[in-house]
Structure 1
Amino acid sequence: MVPMKSERSQLKRAVRQLRRIRSFYAAATVLWAGSAALTSWQAAGSRQLTVCVALLAVFAALFVMASVALRRLGVTATAGRVQSRATTSTVPNAGGRAAA
């Protein structure tokens, strides 16, 4: 059964949002990993280190969940680009002969 047009547009929107938020979660994971490394070097065992590690774990889990959701939707990284290029050209064969 083919999804209706509105369902396809909702799916595309959801995929765009998931990709956008996944990149945000990846950036936050990198930021908190760096912060945790710096804090552990300066003040090992402190409350600040505990907070940094907790936030690192939260953003890493959110990143993994967003990645799993995208994988369940069956979306590849180049699906949107390949589909837009797969359309046929509207330029007719100017020479009148078969294309080589």
Structure 2
Amino acid sequence: MAPMKSERSQLKRAVRQLRRIRSFYAAAMVLWAGSAALTSWQAAGSRQLMVCVVLLAVFAALFVMASVALRRLGVPATAPRVQRHATTSTVPNAGGRAAA
């Protein structure tokens, strides 16, 4: 049985949100990896390094969980992304003003 329209729109919204948050987690991983590398260069074995490594591990785990959730939703990695507001108006002069 095909999913209802509201279920499809909820699925699209969930996929869009998961892709957005996954990119955020990837950026956070890069940030904390750089911070951990810099901190290990300056103060190896310090508390700041442990915090950086823990936060890197947290964001890596969140990234993996978001990727697994996208895979479970059945969205292929090469699926085209939905373009919002890409349609043109089919009604000429939709603004309500007379054409000059």
TM class by smaller structure: 0.7 to 0.9
Give deviations 1:5-32, integer Å, cap 9, x for gaps: 0000000000000000000000000100
Q: In structure 1, what is the Cα distance between the partners aligned to 2:39 and 2:17?
A: 32
Aligned partners of 1:49 and 1:96: how far apart in 2? 62
Question: Aligned partners of 1:54, 1:34: CA distance in 2, in Å?
Answer: 13
Give percent identity, aligned residues only: 92
Distance 1:81 1:99 in 2: 36
* Structure 2 counterpart of 1:8: 8
C-alpha spacing 1:90/1:81, structure 2 compared with 1 (3 Å): farther
Distance in 2 separating the partners of 1:37 and 1:19: 27
CA distance in 2, matches of 1:39, 1:99: 65
Say what the alpha-carbon RMSD is for the aligned residues.
Answer: 5.8
2:80 alignment partner, SS class: helix
* Structure 2 residues without counterparts, runs of 5 or longer: none
| Superposition pairs of residues 75-94 of structure 1, within 5 angstroms | 75-81=75-81
Bigger proportion of residues as helix: 1
**Structure 1 residues not aligned, in runs of 5+:** none
C-alpha spacing 1:12/1:37, structure 2 compared with 1 (3 Å): same
1:77 CA displacement: 3.1
* Deviation (angstroms), 1:76: 1.6
User: Does 1:37 find its partner at 2:37?
Assistant: yes
How many aligned residue pairs are there?
A: 100
Q: Cα distance, 1:81 vs. partner?
A: 4.9
Against the structure 1 CA distance between its residues 15 and 81, is the aligned structure 2 distance closer, same or farther, given a 3 Å change threshold?
A: closer
Structure 1 residues 77 and 93: alpha-carbon distance in aligned structure 2, compared to 1, 3 A threshold: farther
Shift of 1:79: 2.4
Q: Return the TM-score normalized by structure 2.
A: 0.79
The Cα of 1:88 is off from its aligned counterpart by: 16
Distance change >3 Å, CA 99–CA 3, structure 1 → 2: farther
